[in-house]
A and B are shown apart, each in its own frame.
Chain A
């Protein structure tokens, strides 16, 4: 291989050349100091360009890049996209409005029924007779009759 044939191959990245080209280029560089110097220049230039591009890229803030791209996609473009579970649920509610209202009413009515049931059971207290009597200096007595309680006070030194 001569210098004219080796020149296009200088600066190749690893893996770009096939094994035959790599062998020929290696043999030429071993014997040609001028091409070795060009090879070194190309590699140095490539390194500078690479480092410069990385530095320029590092100065840019790409954190909002994806959000910006997504925001520029029109909503109509998503029409064909598969709907999520929440979207499917909303669509279900929209199609079955009566069913949706009933599904909201049933647990609410169940809660009301439970409230009334508890209130009624709690009402067994008031529906039963309950008597509390206190007296500062008289004795008290409670007579239970079928018509209701009779509360009596009498001579004594204590109340109940």
Chain B
């Protein structure tokens, strides 16, 4: 009977530990670095069509992608992202649960910090530098690649 009790409690322990293990699982994260311009021919270059819904809501009409980082992030990990202008942005995955992810984005260039939780399939677009000469730098972050 002792073995049955042991097996029962082991099963319970496994069931309890599974959600915790799932919460610590790495999450694929896609980070893109964009530059937005106030002036120019309106439109999105190939590869940025999926961002149209968000980018078209801003005052910037021309967009260029300057970089991309694809990382497998575990909760608590910070991913530095370099900006072509010399600055950098820190993207930290705070937690990921049931597809939703919480990110902290620290942009020293604009002295801005954000903490954003996005549901599955949603994306963060954040301006990370103040506008200079009619353009500004942005990062887009999407969990799940």
Contacts and interface: CB of A to CB of B under 8 A. Distances in A.
B17 to A, nearest CB: 10
A97 B4 contact: yes
Nearest to B36: A152
Contacts of B1: 93-94, 97, 100-101
Interface residue range, chain A: 35 or more
Contacts of A108: 8-9, 12
Interface string B46-65: 00001101110110000000
A9 interface: no
Given A112-B12, A147-B53, A134 B130 contact: no
Contacts of B122: 129, 147-149
Interface in A79-117: 93-94, 97-98, 100-101, 104-105, 108-109, 112, 115-116
Given A105-B11, A126-B97, A143-B57, A138 B112 contact: yes
Interface of A: 93-94, 97-98, 100-101, 104-105, 108-109, 112, 115-116, 119-120, 123, 125-138, 140, 143, 145-155, 159
